[in-house]
Amino acid sequence: MKNNNLFGKDILSADQFTRDDIEMVIERSIKMREIVKTKGATDILHDKIMAALFYEPSSRTYGSFIAAIQRLGGGFIPLQGISYSSVAKGETLNDTVATFASYSDVIVFRHPQVGAAKLASDSTTIPIINAGDGPGEHPTQALLDIFTIIDHFGTVDGKTVTLVGDLLNGRTVHSLITLLLLYKPKLIQLVAPEELRMPANTVKRIKNAKISVVETESLDEILANTDALYVTRVQKERFQNLTVYEKLKDRFVITRETMKHLASDAILMHPFPRITEIATEVDSDSRALYLREQITNGMYVRMALLSLVLQK
């Protein structure tokens, strides 16, 4: 195996990964899938405890990290809903992180503020895994997303990836673009209402990487050449003005009709939760991976990450 650069490290941003790191995570995720499918579990982390500190709602990230540590034989401290912790009494982020760090070997951390995972990592020497920091980043989601694309197509190189929805506030797409830039996609298409466009510096990073990029407000013209269509939710919790949210939330809705314009060998992804942006009638389409591979890959990738971070 290649050198495990992730051992003992914080996982704060997709920026920290090299292509070798991603390939190591993918290789390990495939092994984890094999273990789960053949034996259900292993005990390689039987002496480790993971704390899950979630200051924002979560189903998949929280659930899959807990399933992952359990399938690796480890224990966990669940802290979802900080209103039941001493945070509600006014405890600082630093004190909370330092407390849970003294009980555990790794902390999985979600918080509404950009940069909060980095702040948490300054309060402890044990690894912090960023499970989403406001509209900033969601690096473990990006790993499972790129794993899903590579597992399906064998590669990202030469593929056209189309990102749709709230590209301004959606942290999953911010981290995913960083990982895509380590490969050679043919084209990245960004589909968003004017108000929710991808931040200009991210678009510039795509151009600097010499990857073609298109920004548009129209889904129709870009479906036919898409290989991976990645749809996101308009992030209601980031809006000051809910009238603006109401105006934008249903701008792009994928229906059975939309799917007729997508190539027969394309894939449809969504990090979830899905609100109205993909009609449930699409779920049975074999190209829709979100309720199938994409979600289970989350558990395999998080098993891989925990094992790499906690074991040499």
Q: At what angle do helices 60-71 and 293-310 cross, to 10 degrees?
A: 50
Residue 199 binding: pick among ligand ASP, ligand CP, none (C-beta 5-8 Å cut-off by kind): none
User: Per-residue string for binding with ligand ASP, 163-192, x by CB under 6 A?
Assistant: --------xx--------------------
251 touches ligand ASP (CB under 6 A)? no
Question: Residues in the site for ligand CP, rule: CB under 6 A?
Answer: 58-62, 132, 141, 271-273
48 touches 76 (CB < 8 A)? no
Measured from the CB atom, the residue of 33 and 233 that comes closer to ligand ASP is 233
Residue 171 binding: pick among ligand CP, ligand ASP, none (C-beta 5-8 Å cut-off by kind): ligand ASP
Shortest Cβ distance from residue 235 to ligand ASP (Å)?
6
Residue 59 binding: pick among ligand ASP, ligand CP, none (C-beta 5-8 Å cut-off by kind): ligand CP
Pick from 132, 134, 185, 298 the residue near ligand ASP by CB under 6 A: 132
28 touches ligand ASP (CB under 6 A)? no
134 touches ligand ASP (CB under 6 A)? no
Size, binding site for ligand ASP by CB under 6 A: 9
138 touches ligand ASP (CB under 6 A)? yes
152 touches ligand ASP (CB under 6 A)? no
- Binding residues for ligand ASP, per CB under 6 A? 132, 138, 171-172, 232-233, 235, 271, 273
